Amino acid sequence: ELRMRYDRDAQERKALLLERDNALKTAQLDNQGLWQTLWALGAGVLVLTIALMLVLLRRVRETNRALEHSRARLRVQSERDALTGLANRRHVQAALHAGSLAQDFRGALMMIDIDHFKHINDDYGHASGDAVLVEVARRIASVTRGDDIVARWGGEEFLILAPGLAGGDADALAQRVLTAVGGATVGLPDGRSMRVTVSIGHGVFPLPPYRVSVAPEQAVNLADMALYTAKSQGRNRAVGIAQVQADSPAALRAVEADFERAWVDGHVQLRVDAGPPG
């Protein structure tokens, strides 16, 4: 009886150990499955995170491109004349002060003014004045080179900045502008048409024969003085500064201080080209 009881207890212990062993193995399998599930979830989260980061990166790049495009558009708009579509004074001033030009301007400058523009506004109305500005701007731009900057300087004044243009070529360009603007009538919004002419002052800097260095503002001022000489001589003409007898910056400033006197005294030589006859 004792033997039987011992054997039965041994079998129960063995069954209990087997049950515990099975439970342990089951737990190990469950843990392994749990770890596999966790790894799968982690991999899924990682893949999802990478995909989300790629989407966000793409959107950031698209947003940056859109912002850059908007900035470029705003920059262009800020440097363009709204009426004529030409460059404005801000754009020209930036170009004049870029690089070495800020201290030693080199190139051709041409100042252009529409003759009797106030009478156009007074007699035909501001809408007609705007139409004249747009058409004159188009005609000026049509006879310039691709590298030239054509700008509305302000009001009825325009400016051409032509880098690398020689003296004879500048004279030819001035003649083309005179002919392009004054050679055909301009149509007005009310169906009428009128003849429009311009006066031009220009120079190729540094000025011969001494080629004294000039700042951009001084070059613009000298071209502007040549323009007013053209207007004082009867308009519809181009006046180019051919030579200036100034061998130093001080001598050139003296010419600039009284341009007309310097011309009368022979210190400034001008070239005059008439526009198309009326």
For every residue of the chain, DSSP letters joined together read: -HHHHHHHHHHHHHHHHHHHHHHHHHHHHHHHHHHHHHHHHHHHHHHHHHHHHHHHHHHHHHHHHHHHHHHHHHHHHHTB-TTT-SB-HHHHHHHHTSGGGGTS--EEEEEEEETTHHHHHHHH-HHHHHHHHHHHHHHHHHTS-TT-EEEEEETTEEEEEETT--HHHHHHHHHHHHHHHHTS-EE-TTS-EE---EEEEEEEESPTBT-----HHHHHHHHHHHHHHHHHTTSSEEEEEEEE---SHHHHHHHHHTHHHHHHTTSEEEEEEE----
User: Which residues are annotated as catalytic?
Assistant: 156
